[in-house]
Structure 1
Amino acid sequence: MLAIPGGDIVLRDEGAKRNWEVEVRPFLLAPHPVTRELYSVVQGAAPASSAGSRTPVTEVCWIEAVRFCNLLSQETGLSPCYSIGDDPDGQDVVCDWEADGYRLPTEAEWEYACRAGSSGDRYGELDEIAWYRGNSDGMVHDVAAKVPNAWGLHDMIGNVWEWCWDVYDPRVYGPYRVFRGGGWQDHPRGCRASSRRKSHPTLRIDDLGFRLARTR
């Protein structure tokens, strides 16, 4: 886990043409998405795939990702962050932000860490930092094979989208959760630090994974 300093980030919803500023406290973030290897060790198995063990785990829904965070916390002697009920929409999941265990990043934490002090669409040249439609050959790739950002984080852009904690817009989309970063089959427009997408927390798809965070 890498130490991310605190600071401020301005988020933008391009659909609603709305900006909002968020203060980000110092936190810890994994240098790359959770791999199939790690997921298998903790869960006993990863979702069926022909992809290699060092590729990001995919076909994992938001609810499964938060359950994984709790299980990994318990296995490593940390305090689980999540209280999880039985609501199929995940609306009864509560996060203890002071717990020292693993959790999903907020989308403010995610974009702040992705930018690593940069202000453009991306933290580097797309072909150098990301697997996307133009260079992925139609498949997911091993983590950390591309150039990291200034804070040592790999694959923040491209390879797989990453689940975040946040509900996208409950007034319009109900329980839909945010995911960020672009994936191996996306065009360049989808592979930007500010790109936001959303779906139901039970969505499982082959270009969507997650990355671990911890509160400092």
Structure 2
Amino acid sequence: MIAVPGGRVTLSDRRTERSWTVEVAPYRLAAHPLTRAGYAQVATARPDGGQDGGRLPAHSVSWWDAVRYCNALSRQEGLPPAYHLPHTSGTAATADGGDGGDGHITWDRDADGYRLPTEAEWELACRAGTTGPRYGPLDDIAWHRGNSGERIHEVGGRRPNPWGLYDMLGNVWEWCWDLYDPEVYGSYRVLRGGGWFDEHWSCRASVRRRSHPTLRIEDVGVRLARSVRP
């Protein structure tokens, strides 16, 4: 994982024409999206049912799949889980963000186990000190509709950003912790980064997308983060 320095980042939303500034503490972020091989080390099955392509990003992973994976990996490595999940009986997550209606997930911010990045952490890391819409020429840094052959690619195949993070743009969208706009969209969570089937305008550091936390989508994956204890 890559050490990301703290800093200030300004987020924006084109739909509402709103912007807001967030202070981010130092943290650690995976150098590339979680792979199928990494997912299979903890999960009982590969996320999309595939049996090969271990260096391909783990995709078709729901937000709920991702937070459960984070907790499972934390326990496997002897780390305190970052998330407190409602008690379940194997039922699917409900629209209010709970599992089977049993309540809401909470994040223990003092725990240093694996977790999803916040939206502000994601954008700070993506920009890596740059100020433009991207951290380099799009074809050099990202798999998108114009160069992907309309298929997913192995992680790390494009040029990293200045902090050594690969595939922050393109290849697969990445889940963030944050709710997108709870007053309008309820439990929908934020996606960032653009994917292999997206046009160039979607593969920018500021672009926000949303999805229901139970949905599994073929161009959506996850990148792991960890908090840094003071």
TM-score tier by shorter-chain length is: over 0.9
TM-score scaled by length of structure 2: 0.92
SS of the residue corresponding to residue 195 of structure 2 reads coil
Q: Residue 132 and residue 175 in structure 1: after superposition, are their counterparts in 2 closer, same or farther (change >3 A)?
A: same
Q: Which residue in the other structure is 1:181 paired with?
A: 193
Within 5 Å, give how 1:59-138 maps onto structure 2: 59-85=60-86, 86=88, 88-89=94-95, 90-91=97-98, 92-138=104-150
Number of equivalences: 216
Residue-by-residue CA offset, 1:133-158 (whole Å, 9 max, x unaligned): 00101110000111000000000000
- Letter of the 1:191 partner, please give it: C
Deviation, structure 1 residue 50: 6.9
Tell me, yes or no, if structure 1 residue 154 matches structure 2 residue 166. Answer: yes
In the alignment, what sits opposite 2:16? 16
Amino acid aligned to 2:41: V
Return the alpha-carbon distance in structure 1 between the equivalents of residues 180 and 68 of structure 2: 20
1:57 counterpart residue number: 58
Q: Could you tell me the percent identity over the aligned residues?
A: 57
2:201 partner amino acid: R
Greater than 6 Å deviation, 4+ residue runs: none
Please state if 1:196 is matched with 2:200. Answer: no
Distance 1:39 1:126, change over 3 A: same
TM-score of the pair, normalised by structure 1: 0.98
Counterpart code for 1:156: M
Structure 2 alignment gaps of length 5 or more: 99-103
SS at match of 2:41: helix
Residues 17, 72 of structure 1: CA spacing in aligned structure 2 closer, same or farther, 3 A cutoff? Answer: same
Moved more, 45-54 or 171-180: 45-54
Deviations 1:3-25 (A, max 9, x none): 00000000001110001000000
Report the Cα distance in structure 2 between the residues aligned to 1:101 and 1:17, rounded to whole angstroms: 35
CA offsets 1:82-108 (integer angstroms, 9 cap, x no match): 011145232401001110100000000
What is the aligned partner in structure 1 of residue 101 from structure 2? none
The one-letter code matched in structure 2 to 1:173 is Y
TM-align CA RMSD: 1.0
Q: Give the superposition deviation at 1:51.
A: 6.2
Partner SS state of residue 74, structure 1: helix
3-state DSSP of counterpart to 2:121 = helix
What SS does structure 1 have at the residue aligned with 2:109? coil
Match of 1:170 among 173, 182, 207: 182
Greater shift, 46-55 or 74-83, is seen at 46-55
Q: Which runs of 5+ in 1 are unaligned?
A: none
